[in-house]
Amino acid sequence: MASDNDAKKAKLESHLLYAEIKTVEMHTGGEPLRIITSGFPDVEGSTVLAKRRYCREKLDHLRKMLIFEPRGHYNMYGAILVEADIKEADFGVIFIHNEGYSTMCGHAIIALGRYALDYGIVKGVAPETQVNIQCPCGLVRAFVQYDENTKQSGRVRFESVPAFAFSTQLEIETEKYGNVIVDIGYGGAFYAVAHASQFGLNVRESRTRDLVDAASHVTECAKRQVQLSHPVDDDLAFLYGTIVTDGKDEFDAKEPTANICVFADDEVDRSPTGSGVTARIAIQHRRGLIQLNQLRHFESIVNSRFTGKAIRTTRCGDFPAVVVEVSGRAYYTGTATFTAETDDERAEGFLLH
């Protein structure tokens, strides 16, 4: 029986376009994460940012295969684990989505923190284990709850790279909505942040499609009108998306605030968005709306929740900045093995928008 199975496996592998790619599947606040565990080619580059460029230039067909239909979907998100170039990092990561490669992803960090303990990358230490993850935006420190008796990992908090408000109360001209006021913040990636009321919408009640259309239009207009810069690397200086909020930045910080983050190619985050929460906290702190260590609760369109707070001040080049702590919970949803046959005309996938 074993020899028959080996023969069948060898016959199948002879018809494969690429090696089998194995993954662990997770979600954080409803937002999926496909962690590639084996079968992916070596990613070249002396830094994580260089590895990101290499993936974009040489391995993009595999991103499409794993993220696009029929193996994924329009809003799938993934992580490629790579060797870090920062000494204190336990590993590096390249984030992938429907449009390409992001520089930071908080929901992925929360999931990868648990994964690192549970799959032996980092040894669990009670009551909390530190996991250092090098992202394209820099080193992010995650802290994972760990129970020594049950060997179970739990909730994860992480400390961001220096986050800052790039511009506050900026007026953007839009064709659909007239002039719109936005804040632009950096939380490992740049986001425009706008109140839903400016579009005649409500984050908790309006149709998701209408919220996505508004956010995407703001992103398009802001990209044309705002020249972004980042003190560390030009590869970080791009507008990743727009966060539409319920407008409660200026309310009592004890109240939860809801938002929807639309990033990449109209991709909708099911979670409150870790890097988006980081950017919003940086903006709120810069505008004097919250103080250090003042906790805020952020809700997503599926009612999942992260917490965030600015824990210390710092600088990022000429920008006054803060380090933000974001906390959330990730869960496992399964494992998978993906293949592509040589005669499959849709081997690299497709997207329906």
Helix (H, G, I), strand (E, B) or coil at 284: helix
- CA nearest neighbour of 306 among 333, 281, 334, 332: 281
Rounded to whole angstroms, the Cα distance separating 50 from 52 reads 5
Long-range contacts of residues 149-153, Cβ cutoff 8 Å, at least 24 apart: 151/124, 153/113, 153/114, 153/117, 153/118, 153/124, 153/129
Whole-angstrom Cα distance, residue 18 to residue 30? 30
Contact status, residue 101 vs residue 55, Cβ threshold 8 Å:
yes
Peptide bond into 231 cis (omega under 30): no
- Beta-carbon contacts of 285 under 8 Å, excluding residues fewer than 6 positions away, are 291, 292, 310, 322
Catalytic (active site) residue 261: no
- Token representation of residue 148: 């020594």
Any idea how long the chain is?
Answer: 353
- Among 55, 105, 221, 261, which one carries the catalytic annotation? 105
On whether the CB atoms of residues 36 and 23 are closer than 8 A, the answer is yes
Query: Known catalytic residues?
Result: 105
